[in-house]
Structure 1
């Protein structure tokens, strides 16, 4: 299991130190870094991020304010030079609290705690499906959280996942719709089902998704139901 993470800190030397620690930790993948909390929020909402290594004191907004805007979208490990923020951090359900300068042994202790929690969550999750694989009679497991979108291709559907892979299965989109978690996926076209968590931009009649340059069309007969589904997320 690879845990995707970002670092948010207004001090570049702190980012460099944490980056080195992450590079030495085999199960962590550094997706990006940011000295601006605003840019970091954009990164979180555009990509699938599992954990944020977050500084507390920053000029644009504090780490506590940043966490409130995250609204539980990913896990947080606070990194700061001030012990006084520990209680506030744990009140906001952070995974751990690291004091600067962060030593590698202490960082690794925190990372292992994160890995144990991620493994426990994965074991408890039922968000996966089995589809016909390449081998005759074989079944392939796909975690639904990894699916960006599904395209119907006559008697087949093609799953496009966030790691850039494609999986072809003999199935129709109509059949698939009944098997995917309804709260996470929506039919937007006669040929496309998308994962709502990966939508990064809504154009007039098309969608941009994280992890792919493919534009997904929104069919005229699906537009009303799609907009009704997304209305609570749209601020105008």
Structure 2
């Protein structure tokens, strides 16, 4: 599955380099470019992405402060012209750190780390529910439903309710099998029984297919 990207950088020349490199990688999809962290905060209120290319040294709000402010941050590759900021980036569990100016070869090395994680995801996931830690197989998940700051993880014969947002849960699931079909639902492609109009039927459950998600879902379903 492709990795959706957001560039956050206040320098047009750096934006152009990143756009050029991203366009050369078939599994990267650039969704938007933001000139600063304030623009990015507004964009992420209504959109989700898999990966940020985030400049650290920006006016108003630094890349590090911006990233720390996100409740459910996506993966991040920090970019900066100042090597002294590298430690800050890695302390935030960054996928990688690119020191400007960086080559296309170095860029490929950075994004390949995330590609490997997407292609070879873990088989199990830990879900905390009912004051217990449940280890469940990712393939056993039928769909996930949002309940505000909580989610319901639907399995074949039971449902687990845990304190986690849908966005955070989606970031932990392999994009080869799971896709968001509505602002409140993520589904497992392998568990779909059939599609009827704007409904996805899974194990007798009728899951709504949102308008903004329909095109991407149908492409995903037919792939």
Q: Same fold (TM over 0.5)?
A: yes
Q: Aligned residue for 1:129?
A: 142
Residue 25 of structure 2 aligns to a residue whose secondary structure is coil
Q: What is the TM-score of this pair, normalised by structure 2?
A: 0.62
Structure 1 residue ranges without an equivalent (≥5): 131-141, 161-165, 178-191, 195-208, 214-236
Give yes or no for contact 2:67–2:73 (8 Å, CA) kept in 1: no
Per-residue deviation at 1:35? 0.3
Structure 2 residue ranges without an equivalent (≥5): 126-137, 144-175, 186-192, 215-223
Residues 55-97 of structure 1, C-alpha deviations (whole Å, 9 max, x = no match): 0011120011011112342011000001101111111111100
**Correspondence 1:176 to 2:208:** no
Per-residue deviation at 1:107? 0.2
Q: Aligned residue for 1:20?
A: 20
1:25-64 equivalent positions in 2, closer than 5 A: 25-64=25-64
Give 4+ residue runs of structure 1 displaced > 6 Å after superposition. Answer: none
Matches of 1:28 and 1:124 in 2, distance apart?
A: 26
**Correspondence 1:87 to 2:119:** no
Q: Aligned residue for 1:99?
A: 99
How many residues end up aligned between the 2 structures?
Answer: 162
**Correspondence 1:75 to 2:83:** no
Q: Aligned residue for 1:232?
A: none
Larger radius of gyration: 1
Cα RMSD (Å) of the superposition? Answer: 3.3
Residues 29-51 of structure 1, C-alpha deviations (whole Å, 9 max, x = no match): 00110102111122223122001
Residue 48 of structure 1 aligns to a residue whose secondary structure is coil
Matches of 1:111 and 1:101 in 2, distance apart?
A: 16
